[in-house]
């Protein structure tokens, strides 16, 4: 794949890269926890309409992430290929995130929507580049372990948001957004200024010298999608499985705080704390999940994790009190770690180093397509059938993922 294959696994550098994931996780955890409440309670939107608003980031992601991943593959600056996007995107995103409390207090929906759109645009700018840095600096045989470390750091970010955000929110609505925005900015600046990217040769051939446009990116994405649908079926199956499990996961992540408040009668802060316990075990077991995937195979590890999360979704239908539900979500975090840590390495190990950014964008194409589908469908089911439909819907998607991933034959650890 490259001379990088023979390099040693850089533990300190990988943990440092994890700060980028920590920062992003803080923002999204707070955004997903409180935005549905704002939209339903302060702006009077239905669960269905709220679901559509919550897909804005995913719609922008599916349009822009493949382009930005491929564009960063071709970018050559003194900061490297990926870090310019992280620098600019994190600064703008911090400003937009800090403006959310003001938009809520303003009470005008179009002001909130402009703030949300600009936040999501700036987050999309650096999401693929920060993810693509992991395979850039990690030999293929160590990518499950590296993904475990960066997901561990992302888990810390979610943990900070869920456990710190609740008390801050109870003190003042603006506090979790101020603290969360500054944490993300500081974490991303650590990545920009302390990680050195490996030297990459200029893109070969006449195409490499041409600027990459959205049209050219769409053509490149179409080429990658052609690989998906006409090549060896493992790539198609893993991406379809990723689509299914992210539909299930995002539906619960988006509406669980509302589920806890409107169905179980809990405070918003309690709902975020329960999600926080999910993140606790995800964080604690993320590194171990990478080693488990390397030892027993990524596909088998993912299948076990999917079954664990499926069991938690089904058990949640019969639990109405705080602590038993917390215990179930603690177990679910471990299962999600087994799934999430080992999925991206499977995808990027099906391509070459030169196309890692493009295939990272492909991974996000399917995961973000799932996240576009999940909120409005889940919201519509909630409006139609009530909040228990949320857990039934999530469980059905995890069942589909278990079946589909069984057909994957490539992307496992190479000796």
Does a structural domain hold residue 207?
A: no
Least Cα distance to 37 among 21, 15, 53, 56 occurs for: 53
Band the pLDDT of 364: cuts 50, 70, 90.
Answer: confident
Mean pLDDT in residue range 176-202: 87
pLDDT for 6 = 42
Query: Helices 56-74 and 356-385 sit at what angle, rounded to 10 degrees?
Result: 180
pLDDT for 211 = 55
Backbone conformation region of residue 46, classed left if phi is above 0, alpha if psi is from -120 to 50, else beta:
beta
Average pLDDT value over all residues in the chain: 84
pLDDT for 221 = 67
pLDDT for 4 = 43
- Are 360 and 70 in contact by the 8 Å Cβ rule? The answer is no
pLDDT for 33 = 84
pLDDT for 395 = 96
Does a structural domain hold residue 282?
A: yes
Q: Please give the Cα distance from 263 to 261 (Å, whole number).
A: 6
Q: To which residue do tokens 């690989």 refer?
A: 227
Does a structural domain hold residue 151?
A: yes
Does a structural domain hold residue 75?
A: yes
The percentage of residues in the chain with a pLDDT greater than 90, rounded to a whole number, is 35
The percentage of residues in the chain with a pLDDT greater than 70, rounded to a whole number, is 88
User: What is the three-state SS of 153-173?
Assistant: HHHHHHHHHHHHHHHHHHHCC
Cβ–Cβ contacts within 10 Å for residue 321, how many?
Answer: 9
139: three-class secondary structure by DSSP: coil
pLDDT for 212 = 55
408: three-class secondary structure by DSSP: coil
Is 367's pLDDT higher than 80? yes
Does a structural domain hold residue 215?
A: no
Q: What is the CATH number of the domain that holds 43?
A: 1.20.1250.20
Is 203's pLDDT higher than 60? no
Which of 73-82, 86-95, 261-270 reaches the highest mean pLDDT? Answer: 86-95
Does a structural domain hold residue 125?
A: yes
- Tell me the CB-side half-sphere exposure of residue 277, using CA atoms within 13 A: 16
Does a structural domain hold residue 208?
A: no
Q: Exposed e or buried b for every residue in 234-272, given b needs 16+ CB within 10 A?
A: bbbbbbbbbbbbbbbbbbbbbbbbbbbbbbbebebbbbb
Q: Which domain holds residue 385?
A: 9-195+221-405
Mean pLDDT in residue range 325-343: 92
pLDDT digits (tens, 9 = 90+) for 230-285: 767 888 899 999 999 999 999 998 899 889 988 999 987 788 888 888 878 888 88
Band the pLDDT of 333: cuts 50, 70, 90.
Answer: very high
- Number of domains observed in the structure of the chain: 1
Interacting residues of 372 by C-beta distance below 8 A, sequence separation 6+: 55, 58, 59, 62
Band the pLDDT of 180: cuts 50, 70, 90.
Answer: very high
Does a structural domain hold residue 17?
A: yes
Is 40's pLDDT higher than 50? yes
Mean pLDDT in residue range 363-381: 88
Mean pLDDT in residue range 1-7: 43
pTM for the full predicted model: 0.71
Complete DSSP assignment for 46-93: -HHHHHHHTTHHHHHHHHHHHHHHHHHHH---TT-SSHHHHHHHHHHH
Mean pLDDT in residue range 371-395: 93
């Amino acid at each position: 794949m490259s001379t990088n294959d023979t390099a040693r696994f850089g533990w300190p550098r990988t943990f440092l890269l994890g700060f980028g994931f920590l920062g992003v996780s803080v923002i999204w955890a707070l955004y997903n926890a409180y935005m549905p409440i704002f939209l339903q309670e302060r702006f009077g939107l239905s669960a269905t309409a709220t679901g559509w608003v919550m897909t804005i980031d995913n719609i922008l992601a599916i349009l822009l992430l493949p382009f930005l991943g491929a564009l960063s593959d071709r970018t050559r600056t003194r900061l490297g290929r990926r870090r310019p996007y992280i620098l600019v995107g994190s600064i703008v995103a911090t400003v937009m995130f800090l403006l959310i409390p003001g938009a809520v207090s303003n009470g005008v929906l179009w002001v909130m929507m402009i703030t949300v759109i600009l936040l999501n645009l700036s987050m999309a700018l650096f999401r693929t580049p920060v993810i693509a840095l992991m395979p850039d600096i990690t030999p293929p045989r160590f990518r499950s372990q590296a993904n475990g470390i960066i997901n561990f750091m992302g888990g810390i970010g979610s943990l900070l948001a869920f456990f710190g955000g609740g008390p801050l929110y109870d003190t003042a609505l603006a506090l979790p957004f101020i603290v969360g925005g500054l944490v993300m900015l500081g974490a991303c600046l650590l990545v920009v200024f302390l990680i050195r990217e490996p030297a990459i040769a200029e893109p070969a051939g006449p195409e490499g010298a041409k600027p990459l446009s959205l049209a050219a990116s769409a053509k490149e994405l179409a080429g990658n999608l052609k690989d998906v649908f006409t090549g060896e079926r493992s790539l198609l199956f893993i991406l379809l499985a990723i689509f299914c499990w992210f539909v299930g996961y995002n539906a619960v992540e988006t509406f669980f705080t509302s589920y806890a408040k409107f169905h179980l009668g809990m405070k918003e802060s309690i709902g975020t704390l329960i999600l926080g316990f999910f993140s606790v075990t995800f964080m604690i077991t993320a590194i171990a999940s990478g080693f488990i995937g390397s030892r027993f195979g990524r596909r088998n590890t993912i299948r076990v994790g999917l079954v664990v999360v499926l069991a938690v979704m089904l058990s949640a239908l019969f639990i109405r009190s705080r602590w038993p539900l917390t215990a179930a979500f603690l177990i679910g975090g471990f299962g999600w770690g087994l799934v999430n840590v080992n999925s991206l390495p499977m995808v990027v190990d099906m391509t070459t180093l030169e196309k890692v950014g493009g295939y990272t964008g492909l991974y996000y194409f399917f995961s973000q397509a799932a996240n576009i589908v999940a909120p409005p469908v889940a919201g519509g089911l909630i409006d139609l059938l009530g909040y228990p439909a949320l857990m039934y819907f999530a469980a059905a998607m995890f069942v589909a993922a278990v079946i589909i991933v069984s057909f994957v034959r490539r992307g496992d650890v190479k000796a």
